[in-house]
Amino acid sequence: MKHLYCKYLVLLAALGSVSCSAFNKLLKSDDNDKKYTRAIEYYNEGKYDKCALLMESLNQIFAGTERADTLAYYYGAALYKDGDFVTSGKVFDAFRRTYSRSPFVEDAEYMYAKGLYYSSPSSRRDQTTTSQAIVAIDEYLNRYPNSSKKESLQECINDLQQRIYDKAMENAKLYYDIGYYNSAIVALRNAINTYPESNHRELLSYLIVRSHYLYAKNSVETKQRQRYMDMQDAYLVTDIEIDWETASAADYEVQISPNGEIWNTLQSVSDKTGKRTDKFRVSGMGRYLRIYCTRRSTVWGYSIFELRAFGEKVKPEEPYYIHLIDPVKTLTVGETVKYVAEVRDIDDRLIVDYPLNWSVTGGKIDVDGTYHATLVGDYLLTVSCKLANFTLPISVQSFTGLNEVNKAMVVRNGNELRISGDDIEDVMLFDIQGKMIIINKVREADEFTIEVGNRTGIYVLMIRKRVGHEVLKIVL
């Protein structure tokens, strides 16, 4: 029996040797038609490695002929079925671009997409190939929406997408695992923003809160309070709805706060009674909302069935308030002052170079906050941006007193007024009410000439010097 078994082994080895010898002889032969026919037979017999070798040897020979697309298709298909998805992908990618009208193009595009799917690694590795596979499958389904392979390919997309979700979650969670909590907050938020439909969204959100907490807990004592505050998102509240029970508030205020300590009133309500729903349009930014009740409508106290607040989450570095640095409130007519504003967010952090809008109810103000006091009176100067504004009451007064240092000489000559003296920088003419008069003026050395035309009456001339100024009442 042992001798018979050995004979079978020898026979099989001999047959294999003959078979290999015959294949090698065919591979080296010049009978290209026979090689082409035999390659397709090998493919149908499931001998994909031999089919691929023969087809590869014929690529250049049949290029540009009627057999070119068939040869390229079977070469790629043999590689695909032999498990060489990288090489088959390159072959099919070239095939679909070169032979877009071939009857094999649909199968070629399917195997190209499916090959990328099989090449996609686990979520622990780089997911570039995974993204390429999703794109390829989407392209196939868009071109062939009625394909019988539609459902299976959709399952492939779901599987690939899950790998990307897993990778994004693992990358973001890595910072949390090694204790880099501030970096973890950024990475976890990016993962949610990039893939909001991820099934890891709940875990990612939890880890953001947990990272905020641990970051604050491990901070120095002076920074802990602010970092605990950072755990909570701030909102711009635009609408409030309150469902009161019968035991309601007659008088109350809706208040909002950035920190639970400083409260700003959004809405004041008085003389209300009974079970009802109060609705308000409001505008305020904060993290905390409260209903501050001051008078009951019954003897039973206060009972709210439901409180609803509507608005939008405030983005990082969104303006919360503006204030002016050392603002000048009282000016003299003709004076110029540059106001400087600071913009800060809800956590009192300075926002640099935020665009501002300036306006004033009297006089003139430039886009950079430079105010020109051209008219006597009391006015309101306002600086504003997207969500914040600040208004400063200012007073522009008429001239008082006279600077007697180096007094200038003023002479009228027909329609001109000539002003001369030492160190003169500029001259301005005002009427008795303090309104600046626009005039043409020419400067030559220390002498100014201004055109006054046929004006008559009492005017005020302001002469600005390098040091001090002169204010003269003149009669024209």
For residues 293 and 222, is the Cβ–Cβ distance under 8 A? no
User: Percentage of the chain with pLDDT > 70?
Assistant: 91
Helix (H, G, I), strand (E, B) or coil at 111: helix
Helix (H, G, I), strand (E, B) or coil at 455: coil
What pLDDT digit, counting tens, does each position of 316-366 carry? 677 888 889 999 999 877 788 999 999 988 777 888 888 999 999 988 899
For residue 214, what pLDDT is reported?
86
For residue 367, what pLDDT is reported?
92
24 versus 46: which is more confidently predicted?
A: 46
For residue 5, what pLDDT is reported?
45
Could you report how far apart the first and last alpha carbons of the chain are, in Å? 142
Nearest to 280 by CA among 295, 297, 289: 289
What pLDDT digit, counting tens, does each position of 372-411 carry? 887 778 899 999 987 788 999 999 876 544 344 456 677 7
**Measured distance CA(389)–CA(475) in Å, rounded:** 44
For residues 55 and 27, is the Cβ–Cβ distance under 8 A? no
Average pLDDT, the chain: 83
**Measured distance CA(114)–CA(425) in Å, rounded:** 82
For residue 293, what pLDDT is reported?
95
Which of the four pLDDT bands, split at 50, 70 and 90, describes residue 13?
very low
Work out the average pLDDT over 79-103. Answer: 88
For residues 324 and 339, is the Cβ–Cβ distance under 8 A? yes
For residue 15, what pLDDT is reported?
42
For residue 9, what pLDDT is reported?
45
Dig out the tokens for 95 from the structure.
């095939």
CA angle 461, 463, 467 (to 5 degrees): 155
Q: Is the pLDDT of residue 458 over 80?
A: no
For residue 408, what pLDDT is reported?
66
Which of the four pLDDT bands, split at 50, 70 and 90, describes residue 242?
very high
For residue 18, what pLDDT is reported?
47
Q: Tell me the pTM.
A: 0.49
Q: Is the pLDDT of residue 69 over 90?
A: no
For residue 404, what pLDDT is reported?
41
Which of the four pLDDT bands, split at 50, 70 and 90, describes residue 230?
low
Q: Which H or E run contains 371?
A: strand 370-372
For residue 232, what pLDDT is reported?
67
Work out the average pLDDT over 420-429. Answer: 80
Dig out the tokens for 191 from the structure.
């993962």
For residue 469, what pLDDT is reported?
74
Work out the average pLDDT over 32-36. Answer: 81
Strands 330-332 and 389-397, bridge-based pairing = parallel
For residues 92 and 140, is the Cβ–Cβ distance under 8 A? no
**Measured distance CA(110)–CA(89) in Å, rounded:** 10
Which of the four pLDDT bands, split at 50, 70 and 90, describes residue 278?
very high
